Structure 1
Amino acid sequence: MRFVKEMLIDKGINEVIAGYLSFSIELILLIIICILANFITKRVVLNIISKTVYKNNIKWDDFLVERKVFHRISNIVPFVIIYISAPIFGSFEELIQRTAQAIILVISILVISAILNAIDDVYKTYPISKIRPITGTLQIVKILSCILIGIALAATLSGTNPIAILSGIGVLSALISIIFKDPILGFVAGIQLTTNDMIRIGDWVEMTKYGANGHVIEIHLSTIKIQNFDQTIVSVPAYAFMSDSFKNWRGISEAGGRRIMRSILIDISSIKFCSEEMIEHFKKINYLKQYIADKEEEFKKHNNENNHDTDFLINGKHLTNIACFRAYIEEYLKNNSRISKEHTILARQLAPNENGLPIEIYAFTIDIDFKKYEEIQSDIFDHLFSVVNEFQLRVFQNPSEYDVKQISKIL
């Protein structure tokens, strides 16, 4: 700067004007150098780096390019040049250096954020990311980085010692705890959730209180995003999974089957002993042939050993239409290719009530997909409702308006 100023003075220019002119010239030259450096960095260096990254067989560096890590680092170059060139501006040196340092620190926050995002992207390519997500942890690192760089930024701009600023933060600890309440609670909850393996990405969870009933798509520091079956997205506070109850359906997929547990209500007045004609009819049903043969032999042996007078059905053991219906259900389910044979298959009676006798079907489908599960369950009950009359049983149903009208016509 002095050299340019002396040259201008030698040409007869006033010293004050020469000072301003020299300052302006050198400032313009510095701006031009910074623009050229920025252009070379972005147009040449970044292109070389990008081509090199995409050509090699390493995958993790692709995420660094996609997250623009190198692009953000290149933004630092002009301000490094300005910081180094600050002494030529004389009395403005300290101000220019502080400003350059402050901008470099701000860019550093963006660089660190991009690097952490790239780390998260790389981690998500591994299966363990669904079991142990690190998004929340990386967000904590981002917050801590912002705090530390913020302290350094304040110290740079004010020209004070960072330690003095740190000592002053203790006074604001109560305010910080209020501002960052959700992240703090979320961080603690996130550690507990992942440590205890309570929730993973892809889990189907249900939280009625928050209107959530769907799959977990993202686990963040303070919130967990759930996509419901109607494609709406619900954000639930992470700590809510520790303070409130929720249902995780992961066991369905791990068990390899989804449970069917639904009842058919049978009119109790239609339950009776089987007549000879009914037994002969049941013998023609493939799923009941072996059951009828086994039961006839068992009951005949029992009745003979105990000298029961079988002319009266109340004596001894006899087949009932409800027992045959339950046996048919179990055999039908066992022969259904979409029902798991590795899990319990059962047709059982529940306690009778004012609506009749519930026959509960308990089984597991092989396919756990919600739509296919509903199709399998519907097909089973469509069939059972259709065949119940073959056993001379009636399904209980409260009288409808149509039934009342029909009765009125008869009367």
Structure 2
Amino acid sequence: MQHKETARWAYYWLKDFNWTDTMAQYGNFTFNLILLLILGYLFNFLIRKILITSFGKLVRKTKTVFDDFLFKNNALTHLTHLITLLFYRSMLPYLLIDFPALRDESIILLDLASIIISIWFIRSVLRSLRDFLRTLNSFKDKPIESYIQVVMIFIWLFGGIIIFSLLTGKSVWQFLTALGALSAIILLIFKDTILGFVASIQVAVNDTVRIGDWITMEKYGADGDVIEINLSSVKIRNFDKTITSIPTYYLISDSFKNWRGMSVSGGRRIKRAVNIKTNSIRFLSSEDIADLKNIQLIAPYLDEKSKEIEQYNKQYNINKSQIVNGRNLTNIGVFRRYIELYLANHPKINHEMIAMVRQLPPTAQGTPLEVYAFSADKVWLNYEGIVSDLFDHILAALPYFKLEVYELPSSSIMEKNEKNNFVPPQNQS
């Protein structure tokens, strides 16, 4: 009773100035409202000063980084706002002591605001937990964002139920009963969210994709590193620095290529061919072999192979008046062996993985000679440099083996040939 009389201090004061009863009540409300706003501001300032300043000092002293993320994500700011709202709610009955109908409605509004601020506070704590887990090696590549979003969906749903209950005056159980009847519609509305949640769990359990993986989905124009996996989408930073967003569900319903196997292996594959001009392929004469023996890398092979072929031809009494008879060395075969030896001595090729040079079926564009090996360096920039240097050498070495690269004739060459082959018409008498 004494508190109620204290809340009417302005009412009695205004009555002394002969204000009417109604005017004195409104005047009392106005003065109390101004006083409450000032007290609320001072209370919020004091709480924020105590909490944030004290917590800031604690953050600098502690070794854990979780409190740093709480500070960064404004969790304490939301907490001070929540405490201030509770302060307003406790003082509201005294502010509206002469307006009971307005008091009940104002309390409901403050309760609604408190629920929303509480959800924001919980969201800040969850975001801090997410940021903290990302600092741990065991969680860096996990889709933490998806799980945080799922928890937030349930928190917003629970908060929405309470808000609905406050606005309608219905109990929570009545709302849940009505919600059960509308479950089919709810499933339809949240279909993508549910599919994304299921996909996130399957991706995490099966370890299909991790944050940081290089994946390729040509159907959606994605070719780059996964930077985020959340409930609705997977974000991929392509190598041209664009961002592609793919629905999370597509990771389990569609096909894609994950290059993680290459990243964790011992090398990155080199698979590239040089098209040899077919009519430049020929048998090697003894003079050609003698000349090629000046190439240090291939000389031991030529000595060994020449003796083996000579012995074979003598054993079977091969007539060597024609070079095609019996066994012979070819320039493309010797060149293929040269590249194999070059790869075996290359310091940037992984020699523990397969390395070979193979001849592919001849085509209209020549005979492809393919290098299949693995570079020891998997970094894209370094890898491209290794491949370029390797094929620079291969292309430059071709003339030493009397081989040519197949090239489509240019327009200038075709015009030149036409002029050379042009025969002027004979004069007729």
- Aligned counterpart for 2:131 among listed residues 103, 121, 140: 121
Distance, in Å, in 2 between the alignment partners of 1:280 and 1:4 is: 115
The aligned counterpart of 1:8 is 12
SS state at 2:255 partner: coil
The aligned counterpart of 1:197 is 207
Length-normalised TM-score, structure 1: 0.94
The aligned counterpart of 1:37 is 43
Q: Within 5 Å, which residues of 2 pair with 1:156-175? A: 156-175=166-185
Distance, in Å, in 1 between the alignment partners of 2:304 and 2:67 is: 70
Q: Does 1:56 align with 2:66?
A: no
Distance, in Å, in 2 between the alignment partners of 1:310 and 1:374 is: 46
Task: Name stretches of at least 5 consecutive residues in structure 2 with no aligned partner.
Answer: 422-429
Distance, in Å, in 2 between the alignment partners of 1:394 and 1:28 is: 94
1:5 maps to amino acid: R
- Residues 357, 369 of structure 2: 8 Å contact kept: yes
- Residues 82, 97 of structure 1: 8 Å contact kept: no
Q: Within 5 Å, which residues of 2 pair with 1:3-402? A: 3-5=6-8, 8=12, 11=16, 14-88=20-94, 89-90=96-97, 91=100, 92-402=102-412
SS state at 1:128 partner: coil
Residue 68 of structure 1 and its aligned partner are, at CA, apart by 0.6
Distance, in Å, in 2 between the alignment partners of 1:237 and 1:160 is: 38
Distance, in Å, in 1 between the alignment partners of 2:8 and 2:71 is: 45
Distance, in Å, in 2 between the alignment partners of 1:375 and 1:410 is: 42
Distance, in Å, in 1 between the alignment partners of 2:285 and 2:180 is: 89
- Residues 203, 216 of structure 1: 8 Å contact kept: yes
- Residue by residue over 1:335-394, the C-alpha shift from the partner in whole angstroms, topping out at 9 and shown as x without a partner, is 222221121111111112222211111111122222222222122112211111111112
Distance, in Å, in 2 between the alignment partners of 1:98 and 1:348 is: 80
SS state at 2:297 partner: helix
Task: Name stretches of at least 5 consecutive residues in structure 1 with no aligned partner.
Answer: none
Q: CA RMSD in A?
A: 2.0
- Residues 228, 236 of structure 2: 8 Å contact kept: yes
- Give the stretch that moved more between structures: 393-402 or 338-347: 393-402
Distance, in Å, in 1 between the alignment partners of 2:266 and 2:72 is: 38
SS state at 1:285 partner: coil
Distance, in Å, in 2 between the alignment partners of 1:341 and 1:314 is: 36
Distance 1:103 1:4, change over 3 A: closer
Residue 13 of structure 1 and its aligned partner are, at CA, apart by 5.1
- Residue by residue over 1:296-322, the C-alpha shift from the partner in whole angstroms, topping out at 9 and shown as x without a partner, is 232233333333334443333221111
SS state at 1:57 partner: coil
Report the number of matched residues: 411
SS state at 1:351 partner: coil
Distance, in Å, in 2 between the alignment partners of 1:247 and 1:77 is: 51
SS state at 2:363 partner: coil
- Residue by residue over 1:234-292, the C-alpha shift from the partner in whole angstroms, topping out at 9 and shown as x without a partner, is 11111122222111111221113211111111122222211111111111112101211
Residue 4 of structure 1 and its aligned partner are, at CA, apart by 4.7
- Residue by residue over 1:1-41, the C-alpha shift from the partner in whole angstroms, topping out at 9 and shown as x without a partner, is 33453771784654333333333333333222211111112
- Residues 69, 128 of structure 2: 8 Å contact kept: yes
- Residues 205, 215 of structure 1: 8 Å contact kept: yes
Distance, in Å, in 1 between the alignment partners of 2:56 and 2:323 is: 89
Distance, in Å, in 1 between the alignment partners of 2:334 and 2:187 is: 68
Distance, in Å, in 1 between the alignment partners of 2:264 and 2:187 is: 40
Distance 1:108 1:333, change over 3 A: same
Runs of 4+ in 1 over 6 A off after TM superposition: none
- Residue by residue over 1:31-80, the C-alpha shift from the partner in whole angstroms, topping out at 9 and shown as x without a partner, is 22211111112233311211221222221110010011111111011211
